[in-house]
Amino acid sequence: MEDYSRLARIRRLCRGLLDLLRRRGSVWSGVYRSFAEVPSFGPGFDGEDWIRGLAEARRAAERSLSSTGQAGSFNENDLLAQLAALVAIESQGCVRILDFGGGSGLAYLQLTGSLKSVAALEYHIIESPGVCEDGRLHFAADARIHFHCQFPEHVDSVDIVYARSALQYCEDYPGVLRSLLRTQPRHVLLTSFAGTTQPTFATAQINLPGISIPYLFVNLAELVAWMRQAGYLLAYESRTAKSYRQHLLPPDYRMTHTYNLLFAKVQEGRYRPCPPLP
């Protein structure tokens, strides 16, 4: 009993310290070799507070969609809408999207408010069980959107694989990508991606109340090489507008922004590198 009480006090002390660090504006803390080494606690992204927050963001988007025809201001989801619009033109108005970590359907709402040339939209979201349950209930009358707690085996072909700020919560990110690429997408769009020039490392995300979550910074060259071997070339790269305070990471491991990365499937016989400029 005494050991248990001591452990409980230590946990309270750690949470108090993390709350103090959080108030200082830090998002990440520490550099670790693996997720197993990262101090973690709390419900993560399947807790009631998180799901309520997602639902509120969705309600705000729906109010905006109803009053203005648009589901919110510009963000990384607009890159998905722009890509989907081009795909729709090439595919006679049909678009299939697989959204890994797509939350409660916010990107889907922003998509439906933006696309003007889509005759048929099929949107699949892979999420945690609690988020999926909320999404299925909310969109019960909408046959275009589907929620999955696991990789959907019956979805064998999509136009776009999309992941916004999601892969970094997967220690085996190559395994996740391998599963996503089984759907043979033409495009893979990763937005708010935590890339680094350092070797891939784990850290603790501590900016959410009562939660510490393992988080992965992925070496960009490593990711690009892996995707190239899988048959996808990096077609577009940009940095997100938002910057982050990272004073709890060593100076060499700090990055000011996350990345938006678009990969395109190489179709044999269609890709020919341009000659170098004189």
Q: Read off the tokens for 68.
A: 């203005």
Q: Read off the tokens for 188.
A: 């893979």
Q: Read off the tokens for 143.
A: 């046959």
Q: What is the pLDDT of residues 171-209, one digit of tens each?
A: 999 999 999 999 999 999 999 999 999 999 999 988 877
Q: Where are the chain's structural domains? A: 25-265
Higher pLDDT, 160 or 27: 160
Q: Read off the tokens for 47.
A: 């807790």
Cα distance between residue 99 and residue 95, in whole Å? 13
Q: What is the H or E stretch that residue 96 is in? A: strand 94-100
Is the CB of residue 82 less than 8 Å from the CB of residue 53? no
Is the CB of residue 155 less than 8 Å from the CB of residue 128? no
The per-residue pLDDT for 169 is: 93
Give domain 25-265's CATH number out of 3.40.50.150, 3.40.50.300, 3.30.1490.20, 3.10.20.80.
3.40.50.150
Q: What is the DSSP letter of 276?
A: P
With cut-offs at 50, 70 and 90, classify the pLDDT of residue 145.
very high
Cα distance between residue 248 and residue 250, in whole Å? 7
The per-residue pLDDT for 163 is: 97
β 94-100/160-164 pair status: parallel
> Whole-prediction pTM value?
0.81
